[in-house]
Amino acid sequence: MSREILQKDRQLQVIHNQLVKKVLGALEDMKRDAAVEYQAFWDDFGPVIKEGLLAYDASDKDKLLELVMVPSTAHATQLTSLADYVGRMKEGQDANYYLTGPTREAVARSPLLEAFVDQGYEGLLLSDTVDEVVRERAPRVADKPWMSVGRGRVKVHAAEERKKAA
C-alpha cells in the first residue's frame, strides 16, 4: 500500500482530526487549569507548537494562537499569551508592538524600547527563531497588525495627537 493512498484515506483523516482536536483541547485545559505545568511544557515544546502554524490545515490556527506564550515588557520573567497582551493594550493602540533579537535579555535591554515603555506601551520580545512563523501565519492579532518597534515606524504619540486634534 502506498503512502499516497494512506494519506488520502478518509478514515485516517478522521483519526488525524480527532487526535489534533483532543491534543489541542488537553493543552488548552492545561494552560487554563495548571499554569505552572503548562509553563514547563511550553519551555520544552513552545517552538514546536509555533511551528504547528505551518501545517497545511489552517483550521486550527486560532486554537494554536491561543496556546502561544511570549515574553513581554510587562513581566521580567513571566510569559504572556497573545490574548492577555491584547487585553492590556493602551486605549487607542493600533498595532501589536514587538521587537526581535537573539535572546530575550538582549531584546529587553534594547534602547529602542526605553521611550516606548516609558510611555506605558507594552511590547512583545520575540527572540525565538520560529516567532517569524507566528507573525506570518497570523498577520493580525485582535484585528491589529504587527509593528516592529525597531523599524522606526512606531508613533507612540499617535493616539494622544488624535485626541488633541479632536
Find, among 8, 16, 3, the residue nearest to 59 by Cα.
Answer: 16
- How far, CA to CA in Å, does 124 sit from each of 18, 93, 108, 112, 113? 33, 14, 9, 13, 10
Q: Among 53-67, 78-92, 103-117, whose mean pLDDT is lowest?
A: 53-67
pTM for the whole structure? 0.81
Q: Is the dihedral of CA 97, 47, 30, 59 positive or negative?
A: positive
Kindly give the interhelix angle for 10-33 and 35-51, rounded to the nearest 10 degrees.
140
Give the model's pLDDT for residue 77: 86
Counted residue by residue, the chain has a size of 166
What one-letter code names the amino acid at 48? V
Give the model's pLDDT for residue 161: 53
Dump pLDDT digits (tens) for 119-149: 888 999 999 989 988 888 889 998 999 999 8
Distance, in Å, from the CA atom of 63 to the CA atom of 42, rounded to the nearest integer, reads: 15
